Structures are given as structure tokens and as C-alpha cells.
Amino acid sequence: METPHCPRRKNFQERRRKVAWCSGIVHSFLEKPPNLQGDFSGCILLCRISAKYERISSMHNVRFKAFLIAGLLSVAALAADKDSKDSRPARGSVELGKGPGAQTSGSKVDELNNLFGKVVEAVTPSVVTITTEKKWAPQQQQFNNPLFEFFGMPQPEAPEDRSPKRNIPLGGGSGFVVAKEGYIFTNAHVVDGADIVKVGLNNKTYTAKVVGVDKKVDVAVVRIDAPAGELKPVDFGDSRKLQIGEWVLAIGNPFALQNTVTTGIVSAKGRREQMGGGDSYQDFIQTDAAVNPGNSGGPLVNLRGEVVGINSSIYTRTGGYMGVSFAIPINMAAKVAEDLIYEGKVTRGYLGIGIDNVDENLAGALGLPGTQGCLVREVMPNGPAFKSGLKNGDIVLTVEGTQVLDAPHLRNLVADLKPGSKCSFEVLRDGKKMSLEIKIGAKPDENGAQDEEMSSDYDGEDGSGGFSSSKLGLRFGSLDADARTRYEIPKDVAGVVILEVTDGSSAAETGLLEGMVVTEYKRKGDSGFQPVKQPKQLLDAVKSLNSGENIAFKVYYKGKTDLRALRAGG
């Protein structure tokens, strides 16, 4: 009996055939995965799959098509992964980092590395950390009630300040031990303004005493009381022998990171007026060794392990390191430090002259081969140079045989000379070279009574066309045609013109200014005001004054006449 036609049974059988067909394809892939990157048999198999797929493409079962495509992609991925694993090399068969390199001798490289290591090992134990503090000062509350004051009653006492009493941290830097007695070098700006200075060494902290500070060179000496075994002094080199391009190391504590070492080369020498000039003495070593906040006061070391400088400052536009660092030459620092240790102050040589650089125009006019040397533009009255015959307009060429490079260089050279010694100077005057022997004076102390620009005991002609009076603190000269033109003084005004006023003097306190004309004067005992006709006349009047006596001037300035009274100094 013929089985009646059943559509559901027919569809079920058709699905079984499709599943069997797909299983065959998958089985073929798993038995022999095709190499999709060049296996020819794999390509044939894919063609078979494609042909069979074309045969069923007319089927309307979309879900079956999607199932078939997903299955084929999964099998292909498995095959590709299996193939990639089979193609990986055996471990150790690939040599990594075996290029030709720089073809340098390994022994020389090791020798250089060991050299740097030995330098660090030798110097680091001498490097210290310095921190500074300001003593805490309580703010006293004031009760200034006007009622208490009106009735003559005492003001009530302010309540006791019970806030925590902590010292105020100021900052810090680095330093290095220079003597077994506990002396340490650092920068003046590291300890400036500090009430308490603490030194960290070998995981111990010591309270240091400030022996002396010289802001003009930025050098300070502090001292700690530590056992001799804890102190390892550094060895000084000769900073004059440093060569541009020579390797150097900067050791310190930047950002409180102790014993940080950076390397670089000497980029330049003799950098002067890099940090604002002024009254400081500068002869910096420039290096590209990284120096950052906290490095100040640390040593700059050569490859012999010798300290050749004190790291002091950087050039920056951002506040951080930019590749330009400056160090104070150890020769300069050591001389200053010795004065601070033995005398408590720095003694410098002094000539008593005003100086300037030689520019190209002046060099050309004088027939000089270059701009080296220093122009003497002013000679202070009764100073060492004045007494030895140095004159305005002289060009100083050498000092004790050392060629003068520029004005700051001459200033440094003279400062290093011992006061009282006689030194040779070669100068150019009126186109001719000549030698002068000058007895070096002592640079007036910053806080001393003697003014740096004018001798304290001189009233007379200053050798440069003017007359000086240290009693009043002014310099004056003839009212000639040049002075009238320069200061715009009418022809009908007679007297002497003020050329310079010393800061802090009686003349300055009275308000006298350069360009004013002293027309008359009067002393105690004079019958009246005396007209001034010549500078010598006014000078004689001033010289007659005793310390504390007064003199009155009538002065002309910018169309007006005024009266000023001055008191003579000692």
C-alpha cells in the first residue's frame, strides 16, 4: 500500500540531508584544514564548498544559509589559528639584540663606567642635605583703646597666644664637607635669612652654626659638631685648569632626592654678569649637567674626583632646568671661605676706580687689536690708583701678567689681590704702553663707614676735572659751556654745578641733585651769603667745617632758586 504523501515528512527528510551535507563539509575541514595562504588543496576544497553552496542557493530557508555561513567562518578561523601555531619558530632560534653596535671596545666602555662609579663613590659621602627654618614669632594682639589713653590708664594686656609654636621652614639645598673640623661649603642664598640651619649627613641630622656668608660671591660656610669618623672632606681641584668640553658631575639633593648625580660637560668658562651683575663678583663655570632646586650648594666634580665648583644657579624661562647651569669656581670660593673662617669677613683688593668695557668703536679709535682690556673712566680721589698715577682714559691691559678680558674680569682680578701688596699693571695711555706699580688698598666693608665710591677723608680735586667733598657727600665742577649745555643752565646763572651726589650723604638727605647750581653759601659766623665764583672757593669753605657744623647753600635748578642746609660729616 502506497504511503500517502506527507509534506511534513518530506521537509524533515530534506533537513536531514542538509545537516548531513554540512557535517561532511565540517568533517573535511577538520580532517585536513586548508592553508588559506597558499595550500592548493585548500583552494580546491573551498571551490567544492562554493559549488555546493550554489546548488542550495535557491533554497528559501534564510536561516539555514546564515547557519551555514557562520559555520564555515568558524571552521576557517580554527584552521587559520592552527596553521599560525604550527608556523611559529622554535624557542631560542631567533637572536634578539645582536646587531653590529658601535664597534667599541668593551673594556674601554667598562673602564669609563667604572671611572664614573668611583668618582661618585668617593664624593657622595661628603655631600650633605641642608634645611633652613625661621623661628616662630607669635603675633601679639594690641589693644589701643583711645579711652584708656585719654584717662591715663594702662592698656589691658593681650591674651596669651596659645597657637602651636612651630618654626617656619624656609627651604634648603646641598653642601659638602671641606674639613675634618666640620666645615661645610654651600651657597649664601641657601642659608640667607635662616635662624636655624640643619645638616643631614649619614642618616643623622646636626644643627649647624653659620660661620660666615658672602652674598657677593654667593658662598657660605657652616659648621657642625660631628665625630671625626662621620666626616669625609672632599678634595679640591684647580678650576683654572678646567677645559671646555671636560666631563663634570653635579651631586646634590634636588627636590629632596638625596645623593642625586647628573653628568654633563663644561660648556663655557668665565661667565660674568649672567645673574644680574650689580655689586656681585661673577666668574661662573657653565655646564649642561642638570641642576634643579635643591642642588644649590652641592659640588661640581671632575673625573678625578676633585671638586672644581659649587653649583649655584641656572638660566631658565620656566623655573626648571633648561640645559644651562652655573657653578662658582672652587678657587674663588675657597679664597672667600678662608677669609670667613679665619677673619669672619672677606677682605678684597681695591683700586678706587670706575671702569667700563672696551667696545669696538673705542678699540678702533685707539688702534687696539680687539676689545680686550678695561677702560678707566673715573679715578676716585686719594684712592690707591689715584696715588699711583692711574688716570682717566687709561686702558688696563694686564694685572700681574694676566691679560684683562673685560671690566668684570679686572674687578675679579683686583679683588683677589692682597691689600697692602704692590702689583704691576700694564696700561695703554695716549697710544703707548706703560707699566705702573700700584699698592693695593682694602675694599671698604659693606657695612663700614667708608664709601666705596669716595675716600672718607678726602676733600679736594679728584683728578678728573672735578672737586669732591666727602664731608657733604658731593662732587662739583666748573660751570663751563659743556655743563651749561648738558644741564640747560642759562648764561646769567653763576656758580658751580653739582656733578654727583653720594647716596646716604648729607647732600642726598638735603635733596641736592646732579645738575643743580650752587650760587651762594653761608657758614656760621659769615656776615651773609657769599657768591660762589670758582669750585676751589666752595671747596675751601667746606674744608673749614668741623664735624657737625652746618653750611647753607642757595641753589638754582630748572628756573627756580631754593635754600638748602647741610651738616658736615666726620
Q: Is 296 a catalytic residue?
A: yes
Which residue is catalytic, options 296, 325, 468, 506? 296
Beta bridge partners of residue 199, listed in sequence order:
130, 206
How far, CA to CA in Å, does 36 sit from each of 80, 83, 265? 7, 9, 60
C-beta separation of 292 from 252 below 8 A: no
Catalytic residue, candidates 189, 195, 456, 478: 189
- At 331, which helix (H) or strand (E)? helix 330-342
Q: Which of 214, 218, 283, 394 is catalytic?
A: 218
Among 176, 172, 177, CA closest to 130: 172
Reply yes or no on whether 218 is catalytic. yes
| Grid cell for residue 141 | 594682639
User: CB within 8 A of 470, min separation 6: which ones?
Assistant: 451, 454, 455, 456, 457, 458, 459, 502, 569
Contacts with 75 (C-beta within 8 Å, 6 or more apart), sequence order: 26, 29, 30
Half-sphere exposure in the Cβ direction for 316 (13 Å, CA): 14
DSSP letter (8 states) at residue 251: E
Query: Residue 541, CB half-sphere, CA atoms under 13 Å: how many?
Result: 23
DSSP 8-class letter at 404: P
Q: How far apart are CA 191 and CA 541, in angstroms?
A: 49
User: Which residue has cell 649647624?
Assistant: 208
Question: How far are the Cα atoms of 350, 368, 372, 393 from residue 359, in angstroms, in the given order?
Answer: 24, 10, 9, 13
Other C-beta atoms lying within 10 Å of the C-beta of residue 432: 7
Phi, psi angles (nearest 5°) of residue 356: -155, 160
Closest alpha carbon to 375 in 412, 415, 349, 404: 404
Does the annotation mark 81 as catalytic? no
Q: Is the dihedral of CA 220, 225, 230, 231 positive or negative?
A: positive
Cβ–Cβ contacts within 10 Å for residue 410, how many?
Answer: 24
- Whole-angstrom CA distances from 324 to 209, 240, 312 are 32, 20, 11
Q: How many whole angstroms separate alpha carbon 155 and alpha carbon 147?
A: 9
Quick one: angle between helices 40-56 and 7-31, nearest 10?
170
Give the distance, in angstroms, between the CA of residue 379 and the centroid of all CA atoms in the same chain.
33
- Structure-derived torsion over alpha carbons of residues 179, 183, 188, 190, reported in degrees to the nearest 10: 110
For residue 482, give Cα distances in angstroms to 488, 490, 497. Answer: 10, 12, 11
- Which residues are tagged catalytic? 189, 218, 296
